[in-house]
């Protein structure tokens, strides 16, 4: 694996690069584990390294979607607006468990606490709804990028927020109209959004959002959408 200097990067974010992500093949079958650092280096991604991830879309009871703006300390896609929470299950037994994506849902609960300060008891894994998976690849800069099979997770609940400023520089709840305005701004390069959020917003998000009480009809745990 290549040696890339992290001396100039945020110390707290660099510590997270030692976490062990779950390596998978293109059909989401587990094939091993590697560090978050190795999983996010373009040099390894170009060789096919692929890991498991998730994206949470949390709506309040007014049907508004919680967005976050990633902090400028983030190593990939700093300052970008994105969906509620995006991260990775780790290669340890609780988060490796695959039945009904329970391991991924546990990871989502853990990261919503870490990033957004949402108390663990406010959103349990049982309240996190697993819709489907997408497979995408994107470069953040010349060194770092993403190559993930991303579990799409929905939650509808009013929650308490206490974000970690090392993870998140701002957050807001948006209506569909407000999100469309943000996407328009991004298309004019007035704001930045993450590539996975752009892909999901341009394909599935508004259809799902229109049907929050009826998401069962959109569940597809067989297909992996190649984006």
Residues annotated catalytic, as ranges = 86, 148
Tell me if 56 sits within 8 A of 112, measured CB to CB: yes
Taking alpha carbons only, the member of 227, 36, 77 closest to residue 150 is 227
3-state DSSP assignment of residue 170: strand
Find the Cα–Cα–Cα–Cα dihedral 190, 160, 76, 25, rounded to 10°.
-120
What is the distance of C-alpha 85 from the center of its chain? 5
Tell me if 52 sits within 8 A of 104, measured CB to CB: yes
3-state DSSP assignment of residue 119: coil
- Residue 225: in which H helix or E strand, if any? strand 224-226
| Length of the chain in terms of residues written | 227
In sequence order, the β-bridge partners of residue 35 are: 20
Tell me if 91 sits within 8 A of 190, measured CB to CB: no
- Residue in this structure with the two tokens 């259809």, named with its chain if needed: 207
């Amino acid at each position: 694996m290549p040696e890339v200097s992290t001396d100039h990067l945020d110390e707290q974010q660099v510590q997270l690069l030692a976490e062990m992500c779950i390596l998978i093949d293109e059909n989401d079958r587990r094939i091993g584990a590697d560090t978050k650092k190795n999983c996010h280096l373009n040099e390894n991604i170009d060789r096919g390294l692929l890991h498991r991830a998730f994206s949470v879309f949390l709506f309040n009871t007014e049907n508004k979607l919680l967005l976050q703006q990633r902090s400028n300390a983030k190593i990939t896609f700093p300052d970008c607006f994105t969906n509620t929470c995006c991260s990775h299950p780790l290669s340890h037994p609780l988060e490796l468990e695959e039945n009904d994506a329970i391991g991924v849902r546990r990871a989502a609960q853990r990261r919503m606490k870490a990033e957004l300060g949402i108390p663990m008891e406010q959103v349990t894994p049982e309240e996190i709804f697993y819709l489907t998976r997408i497979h995408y690849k994107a470069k953040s800069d010349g060194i770092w990028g993403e190559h993930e099979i991303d579990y799409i997770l929905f939650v509808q609940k009013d929650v308490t927020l206490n974000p970690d400023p090392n993870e998140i520089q701002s957050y807001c709840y948006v209506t569909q109209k407000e999100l469309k305005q943000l996407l328009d701004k991004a298309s004019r390069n007035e704001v930045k959004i993450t590539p996975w959020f752009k892909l999901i917003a341009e394909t599935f998000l508004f259809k799902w959002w229109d049907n929050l009480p009826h998401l069962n009809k959109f569940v597809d745990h067989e297909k992996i959408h190649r984006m």
